[in-house]
Amino acid sequence: MTDPHDRSTSRRRFLALAGSAAATTALAGCSGGGGDGGENGSGGDNASGGEATEGADTTAGDQATTSGGTEGGESTETEAGNESGDGSGTGGFGVTITQGQPPSTLDPQNHRETPTDNVVLHAYEGVLARDAEGKIIQKLATDYERVEEGRVRFTLQEGVTFHNGDDLTPEDVAFSINRIVKEDVGFTSPQADQLAGVTGAEVVDGERAVDVMSDGFNPIVFASFATYCDVMQQSWVEERSGEEIAQNMNGTGPFQLESYEQGVRVVLSRYEDYWREPADISQLTFNAAQESSTRVNQLLEGETDVAVNVPPQDAQRVRSSNSAGLSAVPSTRVIYNAMRYDVEPFSSPQFRRAMNYAVNLSGIVENVLSGFADPTGQPTLEGFFGYNGDVDPYPQDQAQAESLVEESGFAGAEITLHTPVGRYLKDVEIAQAVVSQIDSLSNVSCGISQREFTSLAGELTDGDITTGPDFYLIGWGNATFDASQTIIPLLTSDGALTSYSNEELDSLVADAQSTSDEDQRESLLQEANALINEQAPWIFLNRQYSVYGVSNRVEWSARRDERINAYAMGETS
């Protein structure tokens, strides 16, 4: 019943508590109730979902070069080899992780948030995965290849069992894929569009393999499967209601469900028959605390081992603590200001470029985000497939900005930046800095409109570009590490969240998505990024960091994709 991290209790302590309660009361004073909301969005604005992260230490390492569309592979490199400890799998080592939000469900295919992902990924696995740097590795598949256009094949591991003891079969894998992408399975997965282009899966006769069919060539099929589609057992799913699946887990992962208090706590224990080395951790607990200061206090008091999203203002407290430190890494999330191409003054490329020149991005990174961010100059982040290393962020040049505004013919323009409140790290503060810098131009007036996220997002996702604001701040996470999955939805003419239309860009992206030559595809996406930088449909802002407070008793480093993988954790020797 009691928490392993709790101090031991005794009658003496009881008396001490009673005494201090009286003393505390004597010092107390307060106001009535009310709400202050949380600091983290629990949802995510991307294909993978994700919380709004909250600041980071400046420890950006070298960016890993990742592949978003490899054509299969037989590498024997596995996650364990890359990032796990020795996986001794013995002894009692309990770890507690505190996120901003609890998981919304335990059904790995019926959610779209990072906090939920972080829990379910310990019990469920996909055919492919990513290492800490974002590189594609095998998981339940020993091999993956493209057998023909529109058809790829995953050959499956032997000796894998579900937590109920049953063997993993190709039928389970095919069922799991179809449960996400098919419309006639009695279940609508919000992840359906995340396996972009995939139309279904079938077992290969006589082989321990599954074929996945796509509509067309689908260059990002492996990148998608490296991030999405956890494998579930067909019979286990079919025997249960949606509500039962949402509150239980039966996967092939290194941890199995021990107890689940919905909205409060998830306790997992080491799965001793895991097909790889059992985890070092014997018990894994996920808690939630909406307030970042609460998470940090828990960490400093030894009540948790990992605190997610440590904000800049609390980073120093963690750094100076004797019991914990910071682990930070650039995330997959980019923050930007979209400018609608179809309305004046944003219809003018000169005006849009002027807005970029007006903004002191390095100042925002340093002063607003305490250095816990990287400046960007294109939609694709460094380390992603298609990133263009020759494109730099816009420097601040007020004179150039004013000159471009004059050239655009929109001198005297009055614009308003719409920003969500509390959705992304320091979103309002970033917006205020942008607005103030634009407003300081002699020929543009800029104001700010603070918006509730759901209301703003509703306008952006209704399929009608004209219902959205002209100028808005938003963030986008892309866990596929492929440029196309940012550019297509946000900047192509038919994108679900687009604010821009450009025939040349559409053509470049279409060519990139249809070519089977990976080098050519990369080159096309880099060209697209250069064009986007030049056309400036956005004010390019910052790349968010993922920042974690980590207890000194745990050995672990943060990942780029905002996921926490406790299998890679070990006890500090």
3-state SS, residue 168: coil
Our CA dihedral for 48, 570, 543, 218, rounded to 10 degrees, sits at: -40
- Count of residues for the chain? 573
Give the shortest CB-475-to-another protein separation in angstroms.
10
Give the residue from 539, 561, 538, 118 showing the smallest Cα distance to 330: 561
Bridge partners (DSSP) listed for residue 219: none
* Closer Cβ to another protein, 192 or 204, answer by number: 192
In the complex with another protein, the residue whose CB is nearer, 39 or 374, is 39
Among residues 330, 318, 327, the alpha carbon closest in space to that of 60 is found at 330
> Which CB, 115 or 254, lies closer to another protein?
115
Min. distance of Cβ 485 from another protein in angstroms? Answer: 8
Structural contact between residues 162 and 139, judged by C-beta atoms closer than 8 angstroms: no
One-letter amino acid at 556 equals: W
Residue 373's SS3 state is strand
Residue number, 149 or 243, with CB nearest to another protein = 243
Nearest residue to 514 via CA among 538, 537, 488, 534:
488
Asked whether the beta carbons of 95 and 554 are under 8 A apart, the reply is yes
CB atoms within 10 A of CB 390: 9
Bridge partners, 477 (sequence order): 46, 333
Nearer to another protein, 303 or 374 (CB): 303
- Residue 443 CB, shortest distance to another protein, in Å, is 34
For residues 255 and 566, the answer to whether their CB atoms sit within 8 Å is yes
The minimum distance between CB 518 and another protein, in angstroms, equals 24
Q: 191 or 256: whose CB is closer to another protein?
A: 191
Distances (CA, A) of 541 to 149, 200, 209, 348, 368: 38, 38, 44, 20, 12
**CB 110 to another protein: min, Å:** 6
Given the complex with another protein, which of 197 and 570 has the nearer CB atom? 197
Amino acid symbol at 411: A
Alpha-helical regions (H) of 130-207: 170-181
CB of 53 to another protein, least distance (A): 17
> For residues 104 and 110, what is the distance between their CA atoms, to the nearest angstrom?
9
CB of 45 to another protein, least distance (A): 5
Residue linked to tokens 């959610």: 111
Tokens matching residue 297: 């206090």
For residue 569, report the phi and psi dihedrals to the nearest 5 degrees: -90, 150
* Residue with smaller CB distance to another protein, 27 or 399: 27
SS3 163: coil
For residue 64, the minimal CB distance to another protein (Å) is: 25
Between 46 and 526, whose beta carbon lies closer to another protein?
46
Nearest approach, Cβ of residue 337 and another protein (Å):
16
> Based on CB atoms, which residue is closest to another protein, 449 or 523?
449
Shortest Cβ 78–another protein spacing (Å): 29
E-strand spans in 159-247? 198-203, 209-214
